[in-house]
Structure 1
Amino acid sequence: MSMKQANTIDEVIFLLDEIIEKSKIDQSNLGLFAILYREVTVRIKEGILAGSFQNGERMEKLDVIFANRYLKAYYQYQAKEKPSECWAFAFEQAEKFWPIVLQHLLLGINAHINLDLGIASAEVSTVEDIEDLKADFDKINFILSNLVGSVEKCLIKIWPTLTWILKFTGKVDNFFIDFSMETARNGAWKFATEFVAVPENEKEACIKLRDKRITEIARLVSNPGYFASAVFKFIRLFERGTVAQKIIDMKIMEEKNMECVVA
């Protein structure tokens, strides 16, 4: 499989569509995050066209660099090469039976925000001008910050009893809240402002160190403790539909603008 990379935001959306279609055919959970990420990319594109960002040209460049890190990791994994550690962990979990849909999505969000977003932000900036990016960075994260709660709306469509489970098991609901998008984006910005100042010959070592730290968060998402894990297993046993059907359901909700991903 060739290592496909995008040059424009439209190419990002096209490649995500390819991944989604392949995932449906393969019955692969990898398509779940791709659906989520496609919606975010479309919203960013709409924001650029509407002039919502201070610098639309820079924002498209950032979006493409950001997406290409995910795309590179995906194609490396498909080619049985080694992507970054946190992406490898997320992709490996996609092949397992027990993770629920929300865990698959959180594992992708964790790798893409906590590792990739900071690197991409630094790559479109210099030490002198990175603060100029902050307003547009926050607008991206205005979209991203609604992901976890809005994803629950999608999952309730896939398995309506999830509403009762989440209300009854407060500890599990707290697990979702504890995976704080605010903490993630603040950490991504802090990493970006530090990474942009790292000398070129030290960048790879810096990325590897960050990658290891983010993989530890991924392990917590995958195994959040005995009680939460037991409830997740119960949820998993009653998730309805094939993987392909879950992907289709999420896609339909996106097309009908049901605020499945972004509030």
Structure 2
Amino acid sequence: MRAARGWDAAPMGHSVRLTRRPDTVDAVLTRMRSLAATLPERDGIAVFNRVYLTVTEAVGHRLTAGRFTDPHAAATLDVRFAGRYLAAVDAADRGRRPPACWRPLFQLRRHPGVRPLQFALAGVNAHIGHDLALAVVDASLALGCEPEDLESDFDRVGDLLAALEERVREELMPGPDLLQIADPLTHLLSAWSLERARDAAWSSARALWALRRLPDVAEEFAQRLDAAVGFAGRMMLTPLPH
């Protein structure tokens, strides 16, 4: 079936492949920790990687504790999800173009006028706005199930992603004495919602699943989703005065 061509390991329309795709949560954590140890602290990818690593560690702990309805399915979803981010990192490292949703972050990752909070939010936007929907389809194909069979664990992963947004704000947002109402960062924060992005990701996943037997239409849908999320990410990374 032609639809399988673009679902696995890379967004449709892209030839990105991991050098060695992680196949367990532990392998994902090892790769993220390696990135954390090697990237400069102020690098935009490093900023996103730090907060994402914390959430992925939480997923690992909950899997061990049996907090998911189907641990194997939840682990598969988590690994496929993280694999898309790591594939984008590999593409950039090799001088290839990452998916459009990630390009603004890679292009501006060292810009002195972009604040750490912007880097983190742009990464969350790319990963949830684009990668999550395709990861649901990836996992459904790998497990031989329908996306609805993953909904319970999708919601549990979503709760951890909400913790990611909270951690981003706690660690990277300036204190209340520094973040004034006139600060453009205040308006940036109020313009984006992780909850809305997560709901949109689920709707996109269901649409892509329904289109899987129409590969050309599915391809176009995925490419337009990628471009739209990338456009939003570029706006998030507009350099701001300090």
Please classify the TM superposition score into its range, dividing by the shorter chain length: 0.7 to 0.9
Report the counterpart of residue 16 of structure 1 in structure 2. Answer: 32
TM-score when normalising by structure 2: 0.83
- How far off is 1:134 after superposition? 1.4
- How far off is 1:128 after superposition? 6.8
Letter in 2 for 1:18: S
Q: Could you tell me which of 167, 178, 189 is aligned with 2:202?
A: 189
Q: Tell me, which stretches of 5 or more residues in structure 1 are unaligned?
A: 224-228, 235-263
Report the counterpart of residue 63 of structure 1 in structure 2. Answer: 78
Report the counterpart of residue 259 of structure 1 in structure 2. Answer: none
Mapped to 2, the partners of 1:172 and 1:222 lie a distance apart of 10
Report the counterpart of residue 154 of structure 1 in structure 2. Answer: 171
Report the counterpart of residue 225 of structure 2 in structure 1. Answer: 210
Alpha-carbon deviations, 1:133-189, whole Å to 9, x = none?
112111111111233343232126xxxx64312254476434313210111000000
Runs of 4 or more, structure 1, over 3 Å off, are 167-172
Q: Percent identity?
A: 26
Alpha-carbon deviations, 1:195-245, whole Å to 9, x = none?
11223533433321110111121122123xxxxx6xx421xxxxxxxxxxx
- How far off is 1:194 after superposition? 0.6
Report the counterpart of residue 7 of structure 2 in structure 1. Answer: none
Letter in 2 for 1:14: T
Report the counterpart of residue 74 of structure 1 in structure 2. Answer: 89
SS at match of 2:224: helix
Letter in 2 for 1:233: P
Structure having the higher helix fraction is 1
Alignment of structure 1 residues 113-132 onto 2, 5 Å: 113-125=128-140, 129-132=146-149
* Cα distance change on mapping 1:39 and 1:75 into 2, 3 Å: same
* Cα distance change on mapping 1:163 and 1:131 into 2, 3 Å: same
Q: Tell me, which stretches of 5 or more residues in structure 2 are unaligned?
A: 1-17
Contact conserved, 1:3 with 1:76, CA < 8 A, in 2?
no
Alpha-carbon deviations, 1:93-118, whole Å to 9, x = none?
10211110000001110110010001
TM-score when normalising by structure 1: 0.77
Alpha-carbon RMSD across the aligned residues, in angstroms, is 2.2
* Pairs aligned (count): 221
Alignment of structure 1 residues 1-263 onto 2, 5 Å: 3-24=19-40, 28-125=43-140, 129-155=146-172, 162-169=175-182, 172-199=185-212, 201-202=215-216, 203-223=218-238, 232-234=240-242
